[in-house]
Every structure is written in structure tokens, then in C-alpha cells.
Amino acid sequence: MPKLVIFDLDNTLINGDSDRNWGIYLSEKKIVGDDFLEKSEKFYNNYYEGSLDIDGFLNFCLEPLVNNSMDLLLELREDFIETKIKPLLLPKAIEEINKEMETNKVIIATATNNFVTRPIATLFGIDDLIATDFEIIDNEFTGKVDGIPCFRDGKLTKVEQWSKNNDYDLNGSKFYSDSFNDIPLLQKVSEAIVVDGDEKLLQEAKNYGWKCVSFR
């Protein structure tokens, strides 16, 4: 049976953060108010400092989704993927994914919400995406998170649940990530690979003897 190979998305497979870039895009299109970017940057910095209030952040991310029609959001997302995300794709990441796909089952696990990241996973040819899910009823976002956030221990929990549901085992699995926020899952897989890691993760990699690579 193929082994499970998990890739983080932001700053691992793409040269940037999709959530952050989505906020910048919405600001450029005047979909959000003037203070949106300032709040977004604060959340982004908190994420890298390890002090992110995940519930507050997700409520913030939901605001523009709740306040606009699905038709408009889908139109915006299509343009966003074309103009903002495609230029961030990393050739080395694509090469690594294709290599892993030859013999293994490849999935993406990301803290960023499903609405933003589903089409990005498709760009890489990956069907299975584990992300933070937002509730949709009658083709509208309700403003609620569906299930647990795919963040830190929550990412581990969601990957373990997906693995169980799809008859995969984390024994023998591999996980590529750039962020120390992913340490719970990195510690659980058989092979942890740090990709262009942040300072805190590089220190942990040294402690655990994890392999470090660059897709840049």
C-alpha cells in the first residue's frame, strides 16, 4: 500500500501565505475596509510569534465571506488564484510533489480555510485537502467554523481522523512543513522534513535530527 505523504501549504509549497495574500487582494478590490490589512498583519505576525488567537483569527477571516454573495466570492477567488497565487508556485515544490505521487498518497494539510485553499490544491494536482472548514448553508457562509481548526494539535487530530477514515497509517508517513506551529504533526510522522523552516522550527529540527530542505 502507498505511504501517506503530507504537505503543508503556505510558505512550503508556495512562496508566501495564501490567507495573507487573499486579504491583500480583497483590500485592493475594495471588498474590505481600510483597517482590514492592519488587522491581518497583526494576526500574521502573531502566527509567527506563536501567540495567534486562532478563534479570533478565523472570525476575522469569515467577515468578508459572510458579507458577500457566493457568486461574487467565487468570481473573486478565480481571479485571485490566477493573479496572486500562480506566481507564487514553486517549481521545486511541484517537482517534489510529482516525485512523491509516483509511489505514495499525497495530501495537503493547512491551517488556512478550505475556500481559499481548495483551488490551490487543485493547481498541484492534489485531490485530498485537510483544511479549516467554514460552515456553508444554502450556498452562504454562516460565520461558523465547521469542526475544529486545522491548526497545531488540531491539524494533527484532523490528519489522524482522515488517515483512519481512508485506511492510512501515520507509521511510515512523511510530512513537509515550514512552521513550528506544525510540530505536533511533525513529531507524529515517521519522517519529518523541514522546508525553508522558520527560526524556531530549524532549532527543533536540529534537536530531533529532522531533514531540512529548500524549495526556493
Q: State the Cα–Cα distance between residues 203 and 208, nearest whole angstrom.
A: 9
Nearest to residue 78, comparing CAs of 120, 48, 17?
120
Q: State the Cα–Cα distance between residues 113 and 171, nearest whole angstrom.
A: 27
Amino acid at 49: E
**Residue numbers annotated as active site:** 8, 10
User: At 13, is the secondary structure helix, strand, or coil?
Assistant: coil
Q: State the Cα–Cα distance between residues 162 and 81, nearest whole angstrom.
A: 26
Nearest to residue 6, comparing CAs of 77, 106, 115, 86?
106
Q: State the Cα–Cα distance between residues 156 and 174, nearest whole angstrom.
A: 13
Q: State the Cα–Cα distance between residues 40 and 64, nearest whole angstrom.
A: 12
> How many C-beta atoms surround the C-beta of residue 103 within 10 A?
9
Q: Which of 31-51 are b and which e, b meaning 16 or more Cβ less than 10 Å from the residue's Cβ? A: bbeeebbebbeebbeebbeee
